[in-house]
Amino acid sequence: MINSFKRKRTEFIAKLIMLGFSPSGVQHGVLFLHINPDISIEVNSLSEYMYIEMPHTGLMIRDDYDDALQILVQALE
């Protein structure tokens, strides 16, 4: 289970980078990525969920990796 979770998280981060996101820092086990000043993502190393914040649209997502990635791709289109 743990290896599956780590693999999903790693694959998710790789997909974000392919979408154009850049890591902007790590704090207390949370990796922060951004694509522009309005879209930031937090990937917590201890959580099976990830958080997406897009202040300019008011969108805030907390979901598992697969669902969150689908929502994010739709929001970026």
Instruction: Tell me 31's DSSP state.
Output: E
Q: Report phi then psi at 21, rounded to 5.
A: -75, 150
Structural domain span for residue 39:
2-76
- Rounded to an integer, the average pLDDT of 61-76 is 78
Question: Does residue 2 register a pLDDT over 70?
Answer: no
How many domains does the chain contain in total?
1
Distance CA 12, CA 17 (A): 9
Tens digit of pLDDT for each residue in 8-34? 888 888 888 998 889 988 888 788 888
pTM for the structure as a whole: 0.71
Average per-residue pLDDT for the chain: 79
Question: Do 52 and 61 form a contact (C-beta atoms < 8 A)?
Answer: yes
Question: Does residue 1 register a pLDDT over 60?
Answer: no
